Structure 1
Amino acid sequence: MSQGLRQLGTPDPQSRNSPICELGEEEVRAAAIEPGETSCFFNGEAFPQGSEVQSGAKVLRCDRGTWVETPPPEQQQ
């Protein structure tokens, strides 16, 4: 598990959440990008562009209004 990242748990369907694109979903990600968007939402909380958080075991990075799943830091080499 990655250390230092804020653990947010699972998305609450009753709250505002930006789309989450999993690894390998480049087409979905391209379609989900919001022009001019500089933040992502998770359970109603805004996070600035480039923020990284955890949702369960997934590491998510904010990319123009879309959460993009990224490999955990220990796997990025």
Structure 2
Amino acid sequence: MDPAKLRFFKGPIAARGVILGTIISGAITLKVVFWYRRTRVNAMKEFYKDYDEKAEWKSLLESGILKTVTKDGKFKNMSD
């Protein structure tokens, strides 16, 4: 082909590539974000379905892990 005819040929091809790349990368990103969100939401729903916060609080009180709360659930006096 004549180089003079190829002079204006790169612009439309480059623009088409940029547009196509933007569309494809946007679609892949959207799919990954929705897939990740769906898996995290499902995992949290599964966890909180049987979660009993009162039983968890009771087990934390009895274990002695909480240093600012006594075993009966009252705050300790932390001032010296």
Which interval holds the TM-score relative to the shorter structure?
Answer: under 0.3
Which structure: greater helix fraction? Answer: 2
TM-score (norm 1): 0.24
Q: Which has the higher contact order (CA 8 A, sep 6+)?
A: 1
TM-score, normalisation: structure 2:
0.23
Judging by fraction of residues, say which structure has more strand.
Answer: 1
In terms of Rg, which structure is larger?
2
